[in-house]
Amino acid sequence: MAVTTLEVPGDGTTTTLRRRRPKLGVYGLLVPASILMAVALGYPLVRQFVISFQEYGLRQQFGQPAEWVGLQNYVDLLTDPYVWTVIARSIAFCLVNAAVTMVIGIAFAVLMNRVGKAARMTLQVSLLLAWGTPVLASMTVWQWLFDSQYGAINWVLSNVLGLEGMAHHSWIIQPLSFYFVATVIVVWMSVPFVAFSVYAGLLQVPEETMEAAQLDGASARQRFWNITMPMVRPVLSVVLLLQVIWDLKVFTQIYVLQRAGAPTRDTNLLGTLIYSYAKEFSTAGALATIMLVITLALTGFYIRQMLKEDEL
């Protein structure tokens, strides 16, 4: 119960107002969402962590007690050179894809902010169609484009650009070209989110500030790097954080390309390697936990930066 005393001007009398303070504060309103998150995400995460310390396979699925093996699953994984190869490959793939996606997404956002209404609407609809297309449907189209026999990419390279050696080139057999195709697909699907997010941030930049800088003699490049980019930096930090997380755990695009004929061992990333341990739940759980630690390590810097900005 909060008590407020008001003095009435003129006669010197006072009036006491009593207002009931709500029993549930702001934190109380978070309880339902916290419970839902704990059940939907917390329990599977804890269960995965526990299984990673056990010998848990198909037999345990049918009731046989799981044997506690401690850190043995982690030792087996971290002493396997192939696992370290996949980890390094996954981190490199993640960083390259996140960087390329951010650069292209920011470019599209700036373009949408500067073109006319008709061109902007056309660009936005195109990005929405690319973003809204189901992953498997878009993968079917991309597989046709890069097909070695009937693909449009090979036809353009061989018949239009005169690169005769690309007439029947198989893009997914060699690991380097496989990751090039995977990067093109992943970036194509991720750019719309970055473009729309950054474009929304650009709309919040005050026009008065830009006009004042222009009157003071600042060039377009100086206004962009010294005014626009610092103002949209919080948006860029969040978007980059999400891109790193998504690109590190990419699975569908890699798995579908592997099923099309790519060498699995030479093209595995962490997501597909975890999936390959489908019958070894404990090993998969340990590798998934390692993947979580890597994700936290890669995103820890940006999380600390965002927390510092919130404290200011």
Per the rule left: phi > 0, alpha: psi between -120 and 50, beta: everything else, 10 is left
Residues in a beta bridge with 55: 67
Which band of pLDDT confidence, cut at 50, 70 and 90, is reported for residue 100?
very high
310 residue type, one letter: D
Going by pLDDT thresholds of 50, 70 and 90, the confidence category of residue 285 is confident
Q: Which of 23, 19, 21 is nearest to 6 (CA)?
A: 19
Judge whether 202 and 232 are in contact, CB under 8 Å. yes
Q: Which two tokens stand for residue 222?
A: 């100086």
Domain boundaries, the chain: 1-44, 81-311
CA distance 89 to 176: 11
- 3-state DSSP: the chain helix, strand, coil percent, rounded to 5? 70, 5, 20
Tokens representing 76 are 């087996």
Distance (Å, rounded) from C-alpha 242 to C-alpha 240? 5
User: Do 241 and 152 form a contact (C-beta atoms < 8 A)?
Assistant: no
- Residue 1, SS3? coil
Tell me the pairing of strands 67-68 and 2-7: unpaired
Over residues 39-51, the pLDDT tens digits come to: 877 778 888 888 8
pLDDT for the residue numbered 102: 93
State whether residue 101 is helix, strand or coil. helix
- Mean pLDDT calculated for residue range 222-239: 84
Top-level CATH class of 81-311? Answer: mainly alpha
Q: What percent of the chain has pLDDT over 90?
A: 18
* pLDDT top residue among 304 and 121: 121
Q: pTM above 0.85?
A: no
